[in-house]
Structure 1
Amino acid sequence: MLDEVERWLERRSWSVADRSLDRILAVKHATTVSVVLPALNEEATVGDIVSVIRRELMSDAVPLVDELVVIDSGSTDRTAEVAAAAGARVVARDAILPRIPAVPGKGEVLWRSLFVTHGDVVCFVDADLRDFSADFVSGIVGPLLTDPGVDFVKAMYDRPLGDAPGQGGRVTELVARPLLNLHWPQLAGFVQPLGGEYAARRSLLERLPFPVGYGVELGLLVDALHTVGLDALAQVDVGVRKHRHQDGQALGRMAAAIYRTAQLRLSRGHLVRPRLTQFERDETGEGRRFVPRTYDVDTEERPPTADVAEYAHRRVA
């Protein structure tokens, strides 16, 4: 298996510098590209990301991106206003496919985005990135336009944690990477399996189920492997990713959702207890004590969009 991963790394692991924008644009032709930013209370960063994409990838000189959509999943700040002012089309999560009530979760937003975008290639970018570079988009879209054998591309990058280089991605190192190496060793070569920046052909995405929560990245990666095979998957080095980091409690919930996603794909069975109990120090009253807080672990997945009547009717139209 190690030899297979090494061969894959040689054939399907690139740098953003390996494909110039001129080369990508020369082969784009009629293929359309949609960029989707899932956003929840990201007014501090979403505008800059939208502005960079519009300025560097949506001009007459560089018409790489055809559609830029921010899916607002219930922000209570000015996320929607800032994104619209920067030039994105903003769509409220709850306005998409209202027949099916929306549930909280990143995967839910990504799944619904397929119903309101039209690109042949769909590129997902997290909305909390700082010092954003257009390379994050052109780097992962490039292989899909230049190589017809590639269907799914993840970005890879350094993830600093404060001043510590390479120490971000704690859930990746503690949960996702061990799971992939033990159970799906073909995917061991992915540097950032949980990264939120990836692109895929719509024809693949519409065939995949979407975990509604934090397990979406691992679920899509594993299901893409089983659907199109390792050689159709690739990764591109785009440099450094700076973003807002979660606290330890949030990371614990994320880890539980990712483990559950893996568990379902290993057994397709049922969780005995799809809940996670964590502890917080209670500073009120007499004495300091630990108080349990129990959270539901995401247990729902959305079906492939190709199986949803509204999506099929839209394609016919």
Structure 2
Amino acid sequence: MLEEVERWFADRSWSAADRPLDQLLAAKRAAGTTVSVVLPALDEEETVGAIVEVIRRDLIDGLPLPLVDELLVIDSGSTDRTAEVAAKAGARVVHRDEILPRIPAVHGKGEVLWRSLLATTGDVVCFVDADLRDFSSAFVSGIVGPLLTEPDVQFVKAMYDRPLGAESGEGAFGKAPGQGGRVTELVARPLLNLHWPQLAGFVQPLGGEYAVRRSLLERLPFPVGYGVELGLLVDALHTVGLDALAQVDVGVRLHRHQDGLALGRMAAAIYRTAQLRLSRAHLVRPELTQFERAPEGFVPRTYPVDTEERPPMAGVKEYSGRRVA
């Protein structure tokens, strides 16, 4: 298995600089491939506008052929000016609840990504988190690149340095270089190495930046919460095989970090996603109790661990009906 992972890492790991923009545009024109970029957003007015502006400037406006055909921000219930800022910057903005209203929406990132398939039309769908700072368009062009130039590749993850504390302005690499992916290192990486060792070569398995062929995405179930990245990666492995998966180095990822309690909830959701894929067994207690200090001492707070998944979009009548039309 180690030899297989090392071979895959050598063959399916690239840098964004390996495929210049003119090469990507030529490949896109030749194949007639269309690209949709989706930003799931919840209260991200401080960062979403700059991300949209960079994508429009570098990958849409002023090019002989836009690399990105569709730029969509899905607002999942923001209470700030996220939708207004994104629209002003040049994105099409849709509220989560406007997509597939027949099925009531639930809270969660995976829910938004699943619904985005019905709100977009691109042959390639590229997901980008909306809380990134100092955003580079290489996050998009880098991971879309292999899908335009490598016919056998179907799923591409971004890889990057992920410093801890950089969002506070403590230098280019923050307080702790490479230490930003705490849930990745403490939960996701051990799970993948122990149970899906073929995926051990992914540098950022939980990263929110990845591009996938629609023909694959529509066949995958979507965990509705934080487990969506691990779930999609594992299911893609079983659906199309390791050699259809790849990763691209896009540099450094700066974003807002979650506190320890939020990370605990994320970890529980990711573990649950892995557990379901290992056994499909019933969860004895799909809840997580955490403790917060209050004036009177430690107070227990219990949160549900999301156990719901959305089915493959190919089986949803609104989606299949659109394709027939």
- TM-score normalised to structure 2 length: 0.96
Residue 54 of structure 2 aligns to a residue whose secondary structure is helix
Partner of 1:192: 204
> Which of these residues, 84, 92, 95, is aligned with residue 92 of structure 1?
95
1:303 aligns with 2:306: no
For residues 61 and 299 of structure 2, what CA distance do their matches in structure 1 show? Answer: 54
Offset at residue 200 of structure 1 (A):
0.3
Q: Whole-Å Cα distance in 2 between the matches of residues 260 and 109 of structure 1?
A: 19
1:60 CA drift (Å)? 3.8
Partner of 1:173: 185
Amino acid in structure 2 at the alignment position of 1:58: I
Please give the alpha-carbon distance, in whole angstroms, between the structure 1 residues aligned to 2:7 and 2:62: 39
Q: Determine the C-alpha separation between the residues in 1 that align with 2:214 and 2:120.
A: 10
| In structure 1, C-alpha distance between the alignment counterparts of 2:90 and 2:19, rounded to whole Å | 27
Partner Cα separation in structure 2 for residue 281 and residue 59 of structure 1: 51
For residues 132 and 274 of structure 2, the distance between their equivalents in structure 1, rounded to whole angstroms, comes to 27
What's the counterpart of residue 314 of structure 1? 322
Q: Secondary structure at the match of 2:22?
A: helix
Partner of 2:241: 229
- Which residue identity is paired with 1:136? F
Residue 38 (1) aligns with residue 40 (2): yes
What are the superposed Cα offsets for residues 95-127 of structure 1, whole Å, 9 maximum, x if unpaired? 110110000000000000000100000000000
Moved more, 15-24 or 185-194: 15-24
Give the aligned partner of residue 289 of structure 1: 297
How much has 1:268 moved relative to structure 2? 1.1
Write the mapping of 1:1-317 to structure 2, written as runs, cut at 5 A.
Answer: 1-29=1-29, 30-61=32-63, 63-162=66-165, 163-283=175-295, 288-317=296-325
Counterpart amino acid of residue 308 in structure 1 = V
Matched length: 313
SS of aligned partner of 1:71? strand
Q: Distance in 1 between matches of 2:318 and 2:76?
A: 20
- 1:289 is displaced (CA, Å) by 1.1
Per-residue deviation at 1:54? 0.3
Shift of 1:141: 0.0
- Cα RMSD for the two superposed structures: 0.6
Partner SS state of residue 58, structure 2:
helix
Task: Deviation per CA, 1:237-265: give whole Å up to 9, x if none.
Answer: 00000000000000000000000000000
Runs of 4 or more consecutive aligned structure 1 residues displaced over 3 Å after TM superposition: none
Larger mean Cα displacement after TM superposition, 156-165 or 228-237: 156-165
Residues in 2 aligned to 1:18 and 1:47: alpha-carbon distance in whole angstroms: 28
Identity value in percent: 84
SS at match of 1:115: helix
Of 200-209 and 56-65, deviating more is 56-65
Higher alpha-carbon deviation: 31-40 or 288-297: 288-297
Task: Give SS of 2:156's match.
Answer: strand
- Cα deviation for residue 63 of structure 1 reads 1.0
Normalising by structure 1, what TM-score?
Answer: 0.98
Question: What is the CA distance between 1:312 and its match in structure 2?
Answer: 0.3
Give how far 1:22 is off. 0.8
Q: Which amino acid counterpart does residue 44 of structure 2 have in structure 1?
A: E
Deviations 1:192-215 (A, max 9, x none): 000000000000000000000000
Equivalent residue of 1:69, what SS? strand
- Tell me how far apart the structure 1 counterparts of residues 10 and 179 of structure 2 sit (CA, whole Å): 25
* Residue deviations 1:283-308 (CA, integer Å, cap 9, x gap): 1xxxx311100000010000000010
Question: Partners of 1:232 and 1:47 in 2: how far apart?
Answer: 33
Deviations along 1:133-191, one digit per CA (max 9) or x if unpaired, are 00000000000000000000000000000121101000000000000000000000000
Once the two structures are TM-superposed, the CA of residue 270 in structure 1 deviates from its matched residue by 1.3
Q: What letter matches 1:256 in structure 2?
A: A
SS of the residue corresponding to residue 191 of structure 1 reads coil
Secondary structure class of the residue paired with 2:119: coil
